[in-house]
Amino acid sequence: MSYLGNSINLALVVLVVVAVAGTAGASLFYQHSTAQLEQQNERLRSSNADLREDLSTTEADLSETRARLQQVNSSLQAAEGDVGQVSTTLEQTEKELSETINELSQTQEQLDETEANLEESRRNLRQARSDLDTAEEEVEDLEDEVRTLERERDNLEDEVQTLTRERDDLRDRVDRQQQEIDRLEQEIDNLETDLRRVCNSIQGEQPRECQS
């Protein structure tokens, strides 16, 4: 519209100039104005071509936008269908979550109980280790005592063996002495028998040995 207004104004100016300046001046001015009009027309054609190109681009964008809108509507319908399914799934998930929370609570209670039992077991273990250390010390003391008693036993066994040998020696001596005693008693018996026989053979007064 601005180009058209400029053209009309320029035409009016040309008419005024022609009326005032006359035929010669009007011809020169007309030629100059004609050149300007052609330039303006060329600019209008170029602008019109640009507008047509912009319109074509806009129509293409509009067609693409409509296609995308149709695709979005289809996706929206599909999404609305999925929403119902998702809602059902969500309800099921919430139910499972509630059950899981209950199970987790029970598991936590069991864990607390297990930790309490574990702590008690640890205390018992520490006490058992302390008792074991005490028992090991007692065992070491007993082992020392056993080793001492074993040494005493070995010493006593050596002493017993020595005493046994001495006893055997004494028994041998006693046996020999008993044999000697038996021999002497037998000899005494023989002598007494001889003495009685001699005394019995004596006529008259007998010696004092025969009177005993």
Q: What is the pLDDT of residues 149-183, one digit of tens each?
A: 999 999 999 999 999 999 999 999 999 999 999 99
Percent of the chain with pLDDT over 90: 31
Q: What is the pLDDT of residue 4?
A: 45
Q: 199: exposed, middle or buried (C-beta count within 10 Å: 0-12, 13-18, 19+)?
A: middle
Q: What is the pLDDT of residue 105?
A: 83
pLDDT in tens, 181-212: 999 999 999 988 988 888 888 777 777 777 66
Half-sphere exposure of 50 (CA within 13 A, CB side): 6
> What distances in angstroms separate CA 104 from CA 40, 47, 113, 114, 192, one per listed residue?
84, 75, 14, 15, 120
Can you give 146-173 as a three-state secondary structure string?
A: HHHHHHHHHHHHHHHHHHHHHHHHHHHH
Helix ranges restricted to H, the chain:
2-21, 23-201
Structural tokens at position 176: 């020999």
Q: Is the pLDDT of residue 139 over 80?
A: yes
* Residue predicted with more confidence, 37 or 116: 116
Q: Is the pLDDT of residue 19 over 80?
A: no
Nearest to 44 by CA among 6, 11, 15: 6
15: confidence class by pLDDT, cuts 50, 70, 90: low
Instruction: Give the C-alpha separation, 62 to 54, whole Å.
Output: 12
Instruction: Give the C-alpha separation, 208 to 212, whole Å.
Output: 7
Among the residue ranges 8-22, 43-57, 116-130, 160-174, the one predicted with the least confidence is 8-22
Among the residue ranges 2-11, 20-29, 79-88, 183-192, the one predicted with the least confidence is 2-11
Q: What is the mean pLDDT of residues 94-115?
A: 85
pTM of the model: 0.33
